[in-house]
A and B are shown apart, each in its own frame.
Chain A
Amino acid sequence: MLQGNVFGIIFSNMHDDLIGELTQVRTTGSIPFGGRYRFIDFHLSNFVNSGITEVGVITKMNYQSLMDHLGSGREWDLDRKNGGLYIIPPFTHMGASLYRGRIEALSGVLPLVRRSKAGYIVMADCNVLYNVDLTGLVESHIASGADITAAYSRQSVNSHGRWNGMTFSLAHDSRITDVVIGGSDGGEVNSAINLFVMNKSFFLSMVETHLSRSQYSFKRDVLQARRDELRIYGYPIEDYCVEIDSLRGYYDANMQLLDRSVRDQLFKRETPVYTKVRDEAPARYGLEASVENSLIAEGCIIEGEVRDSVLFRGVRVGRGAKVVGSILMQGTVVGEGADLGYVVADKDVHFSEGRLLRGYEAYPMYITKGSHV
């Protein structure tokens, strides 16, 4: 446990552009996932479960849903007198624009970090999901004496697919010798999971140095440009990690939860994933309900057929309706006799009786929040 010695930073808006459909009305951090969670829940829970109880969440835009979700941080036990949760909206001067990169975004958090008693900084992005105790990562950072330790996961990359990720080449002592952004040839790679550790003093001087030179990209201006000068080490994460960089990736990541081993790795009993409590009644199944291979959240009322799907809290599936291979977010109503295949319905979508909608597994059909179909 890292009690009291680490300041956690979460970037809630990084990668908003990659999943544009889902971030129209929210931050990447507040994208719903797995029936009852938001992306950011995994990171807050990782921090808290690892003893990191001083956490700054950096926001940029569309952060209303995020603020609503986080509240005082009580659900993560982060409503503290010492430390706890800080939400850091963009601090812009008159006429200045929103932040232009990770380093500029960090300028808002500097006063908090300076004041903190923590000796180390852990930074996480919301678009990679994992349930990992961060103690090993921080201890490895301390032991190696690195300036920056970057966590990575071994992933196989499909050379046909779009690849936005960052990959590392490592020396035998785990020192990072090369940093490539995008453009992989495929095969097994050391994929960055956008999780970094730094000493507080290094972190403060790094941010200040680059800000004064108008260098705003942490990846390009620090990891790539200074890889020989700085001691940047890699740290492997062996547990399940999923990076979500497209609607298709989002769909696949949800569907992977139907696999027991994925669920067991993402929802560990000893390190639970905390989220906002909604006070819904438990799910109810009607007389004619038929459900197989699906994840069903509380508050659902199911009277029809559901297969290979993820249903968020408070979804209603009417009599004779059929839902296959779909993700239905909170409050979706599927009218009697409606037939949905490979649909991603954002919150509060209403499918009228008998509607037939069909996407493809490789190209699920996305329905915007609050639509009436």
Chain B
Amino acid sequence: MSGRKEWIAMLLAGGQGSRLAPLTKMVAKPAVPFGGRYRIIDFTLSNCVNSGLDTVGVLTQYQPHVLNEYIGNGQPWDLDRMRGGVHVLPPYERQGGGGFYAGTANAIYQNIGFIERYDPEYVVILSGDHIYKMNYAKMLEAHKRQKADCTIAVIEVPMEEASRFGIMNINPDGTIYEFEEKPAHPKSNLASMGIYIFGWEKLRSYLIADELNPSSHRDFGKDIIPAMLAAGETMLAYRFEGYWRDVGTIDTLWEANMDLLNPKVPLDLYEDDWKIYARSPVMPPHYIAPGSHVQHSIVGEGCTVEGDVDFSVLFSGVTVEKGAVVRDSIVMPGSVIRKGALVQYAIIAENVEVGEQVSIGVRPEDCPDKDSWGVTVLADGVHIAPGCTIGARQRIEADVGQPAGQEV
């Protein structure tokens, strides 16, 4: 195959995202909307193209339709290329094996053929469920400079939270001597970001060896990295400084959205030299009606706001009718909040209808039992009949009360 690429990226987007349920009922986690305009995967795809990576394989297997359509030919991210570009890689059958991806390492193993079409020197392994801006080219420089076999991006986390992460213990020269997955007594606070650069020849040999090991989990963190460490390969930790959030749970998704409203959070979506690209909805600008109040919020295209919106993120095409109040909440594309409804500490998924005078969610200070408080989530397309009340930390996956507009 002519025209080799120095490096390509493989983006793991197959996770079910069960901790984000019910938002991931119909869509894969990377396709969950984020930040008023984006989907989670936009950050990683934009990082790729901004870093000069023009060939990206996106490994999907769970609920791929929305994600497939969203990625399309890759044009919004400038990844529609004559050679390379973005390719969605679902599992496939072939002679002597194939089938569903059994783990992150197996997913890459099954696509060795795709990678070899580009004959790359380096392969970047990424995951599609983090919010951050990062220049992978700088990481590749470090990888080359130190002649590493594998470079793992790490970020300092608060020591008390370190036991939630995969922790890297490193030597003074930055090389890793130990990797501990969620250690009870962490020795360092350098957490793996799930971003790896490998020399392709090296990675391929470990992937093939791992397939032959019957007790392997077929996982990068559990199998490939420990095996490489045990064999004495040069493993480098690459420190990343800046904003990075895993949005794998309802709470972290809600918090990361709210971070966008905080001017002190170092994630600037308005700077020109590291844009986050997205497939745009075709909608006119949003309209704020007389008598409405919109403060400390993000509002997408095509919204109509006649009520009050405070500390919230509204995606494109959302309607907030007169007298309705949306506070500390996230409302995804196409949803309607009818007259007089109150939405607090909630995530409203796409195309939801919240009926008149409905109350959704509870402020933490109004919750008698602090342990039962949490963000309430309404899944895609549900209808909440007028006058209903939905408390804290609920997960609503079906219509509540009479469907709106239907008489008894």
Contacts and interface: CB of A to CB of B under 8 A. Distances in A.
Interface centre among B275, B285, B289 (most CB of A within 10 A): B285
B291 A292 contact: yes
Contacts of B285: 34-36, 295-298, 310-311
B13 to A, nearest CB: 21
A299 interface: yes
B295 A289 contact: yes
Interface stretch (A1-9, A82-90, A276-284, A350-358): A276-284
A349 interface: no
B281 to A, nearest CB: 9
Nearest to B271: A281
Contact of A272 (B75, B276, B282, B289): B282
Given A279-B277, A282-B300, A290-B293, A295 B286 contact: yes
B286 A296 contact: yes
Given A291-B294, A297-B301, A277 B76 contact: yes
A299 B277 contact: no
Interface in A249-298: 258, 260, 263, 266-267, 272-274, 277, 279-298
Q: State which size class the interface on B falls in.
A: 35 or more
B284 A34 contact: yes
B24 to A, nearest CB: 23
B92 to A, nearest CB: 30
B280 A277 contact: yes
Contact of A281 (B261, B269, B287, B291): B269
B36 A282 contact: yes
A162 interface: no
Given A258-B287, A296-B288, A298-B301, A282 B37 contact: yes
Contacts of A220: none
A270 to B, nearest CB: 11
B198 to A, nearest CB: 31
Interface size class on chain A is 35 or more
B296 A287 contact: yes
A282 B282 contact: no
Given A258-B287, A296-B285, A289 B37 contact: no
A286 B284 contact: no
A280 B270 CA distance: 7
A266 B283 CA distance: 11
Contact of B288 (A277, A291, A301): A291
Nearest to B46: A279
Interface string A74-97: 100000000000000000000000
Central interface residue in B261, B286, B291, by most chain A CB within 10 Å: B286
Contacts of A272: 282-283
B35 interface: yes
Interface in A1-45: 34-37
A279 B77 CA distance: 10
A283 B292 contact: no
Contacts of B76: 277, 279
Given A273-B282, A291-B288, A282 B299 contact: yes
Contacts of A74: 75
Contacts of B278: 279
Interface string B304-326: 00000100000110000000000
B37 A298 contact: yes
B299 A285 contact: yes
Contacts of A273: 282, 284
Contacts of B315: 282
Nearest to B313: A282
Contact of A263 (B261, B284, B292, B293): B284
Given A272-B283, A294-B288, A288 B35 contact: no
B10 to A, nearest CB: 25
Interface of B: 35-37, 75-76, 260-261, 269-270, 275-278, 280, 282-301, 309, 315-316
Which 4 A-B pairs have CB atoms at the shortest separation, nearest pair first?
Answer: A35-B285, A281-B269, A282-B36, A297-B285
26 contacts: A36-B284, A37-B284, A74-B75, A263-B287, A273-B282, A273-B284, A279-B280, A281-B35, A281-B36, A281-B37, A282-B299, A283-B286, A284-B297, A285-B294, A285-B295, A285-B296, A287-B295, A288-B295, A289-B294, A292-B289, A293-B290, A294-B288, A295-B284, A297-B285, A298-B301, A299-B270
Interface of A: 34-37, 74, 258, 260, 263, 266-267, 272-274, 277, 279-299, 301, 310-311
Given A282-B298, A293-B288, A297-B286, 12 more contacts: A36-B285, A274-B282, A281-B35, A282-B37, A282-B315, A285-B309, A286-B296, A288-B295, A291-B294, A292-B290, A295-B286, A310-B285
